[in-house]
Structure 1
Amino acid sequence: MTAVLSEETKLRDEIVTVGKSLFDRCFTFGSTGNISARLSNGDMLMTPTNASLGALDPARLSKFSAEGVHVSGDKPTKEAFLHQCMYCERSTASAVVHLHSTNAVAISLIEGLNPEDLLPPLTAYYVMRVGKLPMAPYFPPGDAALAEAVRERARDSHAVLLANHGPVVAGKSLREAQYATEELEETAKLFLMLRGEKIRPLTQEQRDDLMERHG
Structure 2
Amino acid sequence: MSEETILREQICSMARSIFERGLTGGASGNISTRLSDGRLLVTPTGSSLGALDPARLSLFDEKGNHIGGDAPTKEMPLHSAFYETRGAKTGAIVHLHSCHSVALSMLPDTDPDNVLPPLTPYSIMRLGKVKLLPYFRPGDAAIGEAIRGLAGKRSAVLLANHGPVVAAKDLEAAVYSMEELEETARLALLTRGMSPRLLTPEQVRDVVDHFNVEWD
TM interval, shorter chain, is: over 0.9
Number of residue pairs matched by the alignment: 211
* 2:93 is the alignment partner of 1:106: no
The partner residue of 1:166 within 155, 163, 166 is 163
Unmatched 5+ residue regions in structure 1? none
**Could you say which residue in structure 1 is the equivalent of 2:118?**
121
**Could you say which residue in structure 2 is the equivalent of 1:60?**
56
Tell me the TM-score normalized by structure 1: 0.95
**Could you say which residue in structure 2 is the equivalent of 1:29?**
25
Alpha-carbon deviation of 1:153? 3.0
Alpha-carbon deviation of 1:45? 0.2
Distance in 1 between residues matched to 2:48 and 2:129, nearest whole Å:
29
Q: Sequence identity of aligned pairs in percent?
A: 54
**Could you say which residue in structure 2 is the equivalent of 1:130?**
127
Matches within 5 A, 1:1-215: 6-91=2-87, 92-153=89-150, 155-215=152-212
The AA in structure 2 aligned to 1:66 is: E
Q: Is the 8 A contact 2:131 2:156 kept in 1?
A: yes
Tell me the TM-score normalized by structure 2: 0.95
Distance in 2 between residues matched to 1:107 and 1:58, nearest whole Å:
33
Deviations 1:162-186 (A, max 9, x none): 0110001001010100000000000
Q: Is the 8 A contact 1:104 1:188 kept in 2?
A: yes
SS at match of 1:135: strand
Q: Is the 8 A contact 1:134 1:153 kept in 2?
A: no
Alpha-carbon deviation of 1:154? 5.9
Q: Is the 8 A contact 1:153 1:160 kept in 2?
A: no
The AA in structure 2 aligned to 1:174 is: L
Distance in 2 between residues matched to 1:51 and 1:135, nearest whole Å:
26
Alpha-carbon deviation of 1:112? 2.1
